[in-house]
Amino acid sequence: MFRDRIQAAEQLAVALAAYRGQHPLVLAIPRGAVPMARLIAERLKGDFDVVLVRKLRAPGQPELAIGSVDESGWTYTAPFAASTGADAQHIEAEKRRQLETIRQRRAQYTPLRAHIKPAGRTVIVVDDGLATGATMIAALHGLRQQKPAKLVCAVPVAPPDTLEKVRTLADEVVCLETPEWFQAVGQFYQDFQQVEDEEVIALLKD
The per-residue DSSP string of 35-59 comes to HHHHHHHHHHT-EEEE--EEEEEET
Vertex 98: Cα angle to 95 and 100 (nearest 5) = 110
Could you state, in order of their start, the residue ranges of all structural domains in the chain? 5-54+109-205
Q: Are 53 and 142 in contact (CB under 8 A)?
A: yes
Q: How many CB atoms lie within 10 A of CB 171?
A: 15
Q: Which of 4, 68, 64, 70 is nearest to 39 (CA)?
A: 4
Note down pLDDT in tens along the chain; length 206 residues: 899 999 999 999 999 999 999 999 999 999 999 999 999 999 999 999 999 999 999 999 998 999 999 988 999 999 999 999 999 999 999 999 999 999 998 888 877 667 789 999 999 999 999 999 999 999 999 999 999 999 999 999 999 999 999 999 999 999 999 999 999 999 999 999 999 989 999 998 86
pTM as predicted: 0.92
pLDDT at 114: 73
Rounded CA-CA distance 183/199 in Å is 27
- Domain at 5-54+109-205: CATH code: 3.40.50.2020
Rounded CA-CA distance 179/71 in Å is 31
